[in-house]
Structure 1
Amino acid sequence: MEKERGDARMMKSIGSVGTGLGEAVKERIERKPIKFAKDDPRLKPYVREVTGLLNKSLQRGAEILLEGTQGMKLSLLHGEYPYVTSRDTTASTFLAEAGLGPKYVRDVYAIFKPYVSRVGPGPLENEVRDQAALNVHHTRGREVGSVSGRLRRIGAFEERTAFRSISINSATKLAVTHIDTFKGNAAARTSAQFTPDAKAFIKKIRDLSKIYPYPSLALISYGPGLLDVIDLRM
């Protein structure tokens, strides 16, 4: 972590959040004698072979929800290099990192907001400059870096990026979040109460189902609460 934070190019030009992920990946690739948690007597009692646990659970009929990190635009392989993170952020890699094969996958969910956000430098189409609009995203939308604590930059929804994400991740289901960031939707609790702008965005997402592998809109989130969701699968 200290090495990464001491690299001015990583921290400023590329926008690293300085968690040390890039440096850790580099050391592993270089086959350096890395000390893992299992090698520390204090941590060893809490370490388990996760791949085995997951596969045994699946064989017993359990269901597993595997959540990935960050968005596809930050993928080391498919993102906007060099303004990317130090790993791939697509569904197939999330499976590989967990030690799971594609055989067990029932659905892949692609999640979209009405806008694009990112911390630090990098391409951002039609970036929002209006301070009042940014305040809504930073407060109600909670667009603050979860690691860095920095305010995220906001840009318009990128349909082209959505197409690529569905294709590369083989998405079968679509989810929409942050509907409450549309003006006039903070108190909306049903689709009938959504404003025309919000309804137009949801229609745009529904139209993405025309892209192979033809994913269907499954979830619409209209607030930060766990139950602030319209479940279209039911």
Structure 2
Amino acid sequence: MPTLAVIGSQWGDEGKGKITDYLAEDADLVVRYQGGANAGHTIKVGEEVFALHLLPSGIIRENVISVVGNGLVIDCDELEVELEALRKTGRSGKGLRLSDRANVVMPYHRILDGAEERARGSKTVGTTGRGIGPCYSDKIARAGIRIGDLLDEELLRDRIATIAPVKERFAESLGAELGLDQEALVAKLLSFGKKWEQYITDTSVLVNDAIKAGKKVMFEGAQGTMLDIDYGTYPYVTSSNCTSAGICTGVGVPPSAVGEVIGVTKAYTTRVGAGPFVSELTDEVGKHLQTKGGEFGTTTGRARRCGWLDLVVVRHAVRLNGMACIALTKLDVLNDLDTIKVCVAYDVDGKRVENFPSNVRHLERAKPIYEELDGWKSWEGSTAELCKRGYEALPQGMRSYIQYIERSTGVPAGIISVGKGRDETIDRRHKKW
């Protein structure tokens, strides 16, 4: 079946945007299935750098249909800003398709997001404050506004008139004030509906028809597996299903429609915000990784916490997602380190643990069990030229590191990335689609 899924195997920020863009060269559709404007994908094309938040990574390519699935929550203001920035680069964005079933992030969701986080006191979960959690909460509570509602004025007015008083009372209970102007809100949402009517459709039909027609469809995750609402470091997670299982509900396709799953894996580990991070480094090596890796959030600008590669995390992701291979990114950041450590298990109260625990308190007490590998030195010449020469041209220490990861996870490193550009990539997969 001509479908690929690109999934993050850590806490996000693994380089999914670059890998999706690289693979999209042969794709007909790129379909994003979860998350909101709290995610960020950075793509480099020549000297151009694109920071995407809601738009699928395929939007950079004019011949690709880029689908925002029903599993997303859409901030209309943010989406319009992204579309305008895209048009300024000379790209039309004509391939965009928005699911009529995707929920809308309302202005009050942002206010409630901040109010709820403040109410948690010292137990904050590190939300981006963009209203994502409250929007998903409303979706589940059947109190949401959907993109399709923006095309039906009578329905939209009725929904907001019903929901607004409830939100006002909830905000008051948290010490916040919404100050909702229902008329102004309706008018603004209707204007977005009119502007985007050409993009809004039943994307489940679109994607399923494309698969039946034999077109090449790529499913793109936003955050990483460890932020999954069920299988991540709960409660320090996002509000949607980031694993490959989320594709079915987030796009509207059956499990049989999900073909090969590629897990994007950074050569070390990072995470943004609060929550346990067993292999975190707070020393000079951690600062080195942060600086050389440019580890600052695409969406928030927040500095990412950095640490050695955690194979307990990656094995967890491989199993949950059914990964056929991994795309190993940012190996170049480890250049010139004399020794590289890899976390292979945890010590929790004196017990060796090799499977990722669900109990957050166990994770907070866990100590990393490391194995050490020799580092490697930088290569001479450009990274792009190195990649043209293929895998065997990589430094021996780097190849040993890759092989160690392959043995430990049980899956091959099908794609090797040693830079941000499309040409700084080695594709070792035998079957491309």
TM category, shorter:
0.7 to 0.9
Partner in structure 2 of residue 47 of structure 1: 200
Q: How many pairs are equivalent?
A: 228
Secondary structure of the residue aligned to 2:137 is: helix
Secondary structure of the residue aligned to 2:317 is: helix
Q: Is the 8 A contact 2:311 2:409 kept in 1?
A: no
Cα distance, 1:102 vs structure 2: 1.9
Q: Is the 8 A contact 2:280 2:286 kept in 1?
A: no
Cα distance, 1:38 vs structure 2: 2.2
Q: Is the 8 A contact 1:111 1:177 kept in 2?
A: yes
When residues 11 and 202 of structure 1 are mapped into structure 2, their CA distance, relative to the original with a 3 A threshold, is farther
Cα distance, 1:180 vs structure 2: 0.9
Aligned counterparts, 1:68-83, within 5 A? 68-83=221-236
Cα distance, 1:13 vs structure 2: 2.1
Larger RCO: 1 or 2 (CA < 8 Å, sep 6+): 2
Q: Is the 8 A contact 2:315 2:409 kept in 1?
A: no
Structure 2 Cα separation of the partners of residues 43 and 124 of structure 1: 40
Q: Is the 8 A contact 1:11 1:17 kept in 2?
A: no
Structure index of larger Rg: 2
When residues 11 and 84 of structure 1 are mapped into structure 2, their CA distance, relative to the original with a 3 A threshold, is farther
Percent of counterpart pairs with the same letter? 27
TM-score (normalised: structure 2): 0.49
Q: Is the 8 A contact 2:314 2:409 kept in 1?
A: no
Describe the superposition over 1:5-60 as per-residue Cα deviations: whole angstroms up to 9, x where unpaired.
2222389721111121100011122222x332222232331311111111111111
Partner in structure 2 of residue 93 of structure 1: 246
Q: Which moved more, 1:77-86 or 1:184-193?
A: 184-193
TM-score (normalised: structure 1): 0.87
Aligned counterparts, 1:145-224, within 5 A? 145-183=297-335, 184-185=377-378, 187-188=382-383, 189-190=386-387, 191-208=391-408, 210=410, 215-224=411-420
Partner in structure 1 of residue 127 of structure 2: 16
Secondary structure of the residue aligned to 2:124 is: helix
When residues 101 and 11 of structure 1 are mapped into structure 2, their CA distance, relative to the original with a 3 A threshold, is farther
In structure 1, runs of 5+ residues without a counterpart are: none
In structure 2, runs of 5+ residues without a counterpart are: 1-109, 151-189, 336-376
Secondary structure of the residue aligned to 1:67 is: strand
Matched letter for residue 300 of structure 2: S
Cα distance, 1:231 vs structure 2: 0.7
Structure 2 Cα separation of the partners of residues 195 and 135 of structure 1: 24
Partner in structure 1 of residue 112 of structure 2: 3
CA RMSD across the alignment: 2.2
Q: Identify, as 1 or 2, the structure richer in strand.
A: 2
Q: Is the 8 A contact 2:204 2:251 kept in 1?
A: yes
